[in-house]
Amino acid sequence: MATHDNTEHVSDATDEAVGWESKLQYFLNSDFVRSAPYWGIPFVLMSIAVYGGIGYNFAISFTDYEGLGTPDYSVLDLEMYAQALSSDAFIAAAQNNLVLLVGFTTICLVLGLFLAILLDHGIRFSEKFQTVYLLPMSLSFVVTAQLWLWMFNVESGILNLVVTTLGFNPVDWLGNPSIALGAVIFALIWQFSGYTMVVYLAGLQSIPDDQFEAARVDGASITRTYLRIIVPQLKEASVSAAVVLMVFALKAFTFLYALVGRYRPPNGTDILATLMVRRAFKFGEWAYSAAIATMLLVMALGVIGPYLYYQYKQGSL
C-alpha cells in the first residue's frame, strides 16, 4: 500500500512560482502530515514507555540508588556494573542463562522441525494435531509452571513414576541443583516446541510440491529429500524462530518465579532475569539491578540487531 506522495513532487517543481503559503498548504495536505496522527500518537506513547524507560533505567544504573528515597544523579559512575561483573551470583546466573539459551533454543528448533515434518505430509486431520501440539503456547507460564511442578513432584509426579518403573531411584528434579536447570529446559520445550513447529510448517508450505515429486522421481528417499532439499530452504524460518526463542530465554522470569512462588528460583536455575528482579524488588538495590537489566538489554540487542540488519538488507521488513 505504499502510495507515492505526488503532492511533494508538485511542490518541488513549482518552487519559484508558488509562495510559502501554498507550499505550507501542500505540506499540510501531504500524506506525511495527514497520516501523522495515526502513527504519531501510538509512536509517542510507545517511545515514552520503551525508550524513555530504557533511558531512565540507564541513568539509574550509573547512580548508587537503593532503598527508599530518590536517586542521586550527582555522582555517576560504572560502579554497579563493576560490582555485578565481579560477583559470583551474577556470573553463575549468566552461565545458567547461557545454558538455558543454547539448550532451550537448539532442542526447540530440532523438535519443532521434526514435528513439522511429521505433520507436513500424509497425516489425516493434521490440523487437529497441530492444534493440540500448539496448545501449551496458549497457557500462561504461571499455569504451566504449576503443571510441571506436579509432574516433577518427588513422591507422586509422573516423571518419577516412569523412573521408578524403569527400576531407578526417584529423582529430585527441581531440588538437585545439577539437574534442576535441565528440568526447567524440558518443561519450557514442552511449552514452546509447538510454536517452532508452526513457524516451520509455514515455511514448509511455501515450498512447492513439485520439489517433493522431483526428488521422489529421482529415487531419493524421504529422509534424503528432507535433509538435502527441504531443510536448507527453511533457513529463514529457523533464524526468525531462533531469535524469538533466544530473546525469550534471556528474559524468562515468570516460569521460574511461579515454580516456587518466591524470588529465589530452585537452586541451580537462577538466571539474569530472576537475579535482576530479586535484587530490585526484594532488596531494593535499584541501581544494581538497573545495571543488570542494561546488560540483559545489550545481550538481547546483540541477538536482534544482526537479525534486523539482515532482514533490512533482504528488504523483507
What residues numbered 239-268 form the site for another protein, per CB under 8 A? 240-241, 243-244, 247, 250-251, 253-254, 257-258, 260-261
Q: Which of 237, 229, 230 is nearest to 198 (CA)?
A: 237
Is residue 91 near another protein by the rule CB under 8 A? Answer: no
Does the footprint of another protein cover residue 73 (CB under 8 A)? no
Distance from C-alpha of 247 to C-alpha of 101, rounded to nearest angstrom: 8
Q: Which of residues 102-131 bind another protein (CB under 8 A)?
A: 115, 118-119, 121-123, 127, 129-131
**CB-neighbour burial class of residue 39 (10 A; exposed 0-12, middle 13-18, buried 19+):** exposed
Tell me if 301 contacts another protein by CB under 8 A: yes
Map the footprint of another protein across residues 273-292, applying CB under 8 A: 273, 276-277, 280-281, 286, 289-290, 292
In angstroms, what is the minimal distance from the CB of 138 to another protein?
A: 4
> 125: left (phi > 0), else alpha (psi -120 to 50), else beta?
left
* 92 lines the binding site for another protein (CB under 8 A): no
Is residue 207 a contact residue for another protein (CB under 8 A)? Answer: no
Q: Is residue 206 involved in binding another protein (CB under 8 A)?
A: no
Cβ-contact 154, 221 below 8 angstroms:
no
Does the footprint of another protein cover residue 46 (CB under 8 A)?
Answer: yes
DSSP for residue 73: -
**What are the DSSP calls for 178-220, one per residue?**
HHHHHHHHHHHHHHHHHHHHHHHHHHHHTS-HHHHHHHHHTT-
When binding is defined by CB under 8 A, the residue of 14, 22, 47, 211 that contacts another protein is 47
- CB of residue 215 to another protein, shortest distance in Å: 11
Shortest distance, position 36 Cβ to another protein, whole Å: 7
Minimum CB–partner distance for residue 140 and another protein (Å): 3
Of the pair 134, 231, the CB lying nearest another protein is at 134
6 in Cβ contact with 26 (< 8 Å): no
Distance between CA atoms of residues 115 and 132, nearest Å: 12
Footprint on residues 24-43 left by another protein (CB under 8 A) = 31-32, 34-43
Report whether 105 contacts 246 (CB < 8 A). yes
Question: Which residue intervals of the chain are DSSP H helices?
Answer: 6-13, 20-29, 31-47, 53-61, 79-85, 88-120, 126-134, 141-151, 158-165, 177-205, 209-217, 222-224, 235-251, 254-260, 272-281, 286-314
Q: Decide if residue 84 touches another protein (CB under 8 A).
A: no
From the list 48, 76, 102, 110, which residue makes contact with another protein (rule: CB under 8 A)? Answer: 48
Q: Which is nearer to another protein, 45 or 91 (CB)?
A: 45
Whole-number Å distance between alpha carbons of 177 and 132? 32
Q: Indicate whether 139 belongs to the interface with another protein (CB under 8 A).
A: yes
Residue closer to another protein (CB basis): 10 or 301: 301
Q: Does 56 bind another protein (CB under 8 A)?
A: yes
Report, in Å, the least distance between residue 4 CB and another protein: 6
Closest Cα partner for 223 from 212, 234, 233, 214?
212
Residues touching another protein, count (CB under 8 A): 112
CB of 175 to another protein, least distance (A): 13
The DSSP call for residue 175 is: T
Region 143-202 residues binding another protein, contact defined as CB under 8 A:
143-151, 153, 156-158, 161, 190, 194-195, 198-199, 202
Asked if residue 132 binds another protein (CB under 8 A), the reply is yes
The amino acid at 144: T
